[in-house]
Amino acid sequence: MKIDSNRQEKIAALSRLATKVRRRDMQMIYKAKLGHIGGDFSATDILVTLYSEVLKIDPKAPNAPDRDRFILSKGHCAGALYTTLAFAGFFPEAELDTFVEPLSNLNGHPNRNKVAGVETNTGPLGHGLPVAVGTSIAANLTGLGYRVFVITGDGELQEGSNWEAAMAAAHFKLDNLTVIVDRNRLQQGDGTEQTNQLDPLDDKWRAFGWSVREVDGHDYNNLLDTFAQVPFEPGKPSCIIANTHKGQGVSFMKDNVAWHHKVPNDAEYAAALKELDALDGVAAPKPANEEVEVKVGV
């Protein structure tokens, strides 16, 4: 498929921004000695695409009534959200250095009362989608017409509250609601399929009345095309299953469950920075098509 030059420039800009976000996020986690780098890195390309090209938002008017809403339901990945918000202009980049310090606004999980651009508090898994359903209903009741986007973890989908919300979203025909599942196939300490099988995940969402597409969650072209097509069907909520890699961007973190919550030591930090620096200005490497070896319990 031929990609026009405008699109190519857009993709290159997204790729550069994603590398910047990953690098800054890792610096923040290294300094704080706390964070969820693996899940941050799997969601980074999706976040950057949303904030640069999809969401109708204005960092100068973060509470504009008709703004699109974004909810990071996997709130443990606050680091990726904070970094994306800072680079989008919601607050000064320097504030990132306060991550998880006492009295900082940047807690380990996002707080809507403290951080401009955060729409709801998340952290306990399974809450973002239920809130998003209410928010989408409110868009219809008020006639404000905004759209609502949510990123959930795949492990997070083991929380039953998601499925109650999914059922309600279809019942209320919420075609202003899009959920993006960060399908990195790892959760905390193990693979999702080893813990509580989710596959066939697309069939599950369809059975609950959603319109479903699968994307490569690190392929900006694929993401841009897919986001441009929501809602996929009138009268139905949209689900994007984004196939991703935990730790994407750093070879020794990729698909390695240990990096769910691990903080890089000095040598790992230097090695990871070197890899991220080498990515600058070039498209992030596409994940290999072959089956990925999921490293468990390392």
Which residues bind to ligand TPP, rule: CB under 6 A? 36, 39, 42, 74, 76-77, 123-126, 153-156, 182, 184, 186-188, 246
Shortest approach of ligand TPP to residue 40 CB, angstroms? 8
Give strand ranges (E) for 118-237. 148-153, 177-183, 211-216
Q: Among all residues, whose Cβ is closest to ligand TPP?
A: 153
Q: Which is nearer to ligand TPP, 230 or 242 (CB)?
A: 242
Q: How far apart are CA 10 and CA 142, in angstroms?
A: 34
| Overall size of the chain counted in residues | 298
| Plot region of 288 (φ>0 → left; ψ -120 to 50 → alpha; else → beta) | beta
Q: How far apart are CA 85 and CA 94, in angstroms?
A: 12
Q: How far apart are CA 219 and CA 26, in angstroms?
A: 21
Shortest approach of ligand TPP to residue 181 CB, angstroms? 9
Q: Which is nearer to ligand TPP, 159 or 219 (CB)?
A: 159
Q: Which is nearer to ligand TPP, 25 or 154 (CB)?
A: 154
Shortest approach of ligand TPP to residue 77 CB, angstroms? 6
- Residues in Cβ contact with 233 at an 8 Å cutoff, skipping those fewer than 6 apart: 175, 211
Query: Does residue 238 contact residue 177 with C-beta atoms inside 8 Å?
Result: yes
- What residues are paired with 212 via a beta bridge? 239
Q: Which is nearer to ligand TPP, 117 or 126 (CB)?
A: 126
Shortest approach of ligand TPP to residue 102 CB, angstroms? 21
Q: Which is nearer to ligand TPP, 91 or 130 (CB)?
A: 130
Shortest approach of ligand TPP to residue 142 CB, angstroms? 30
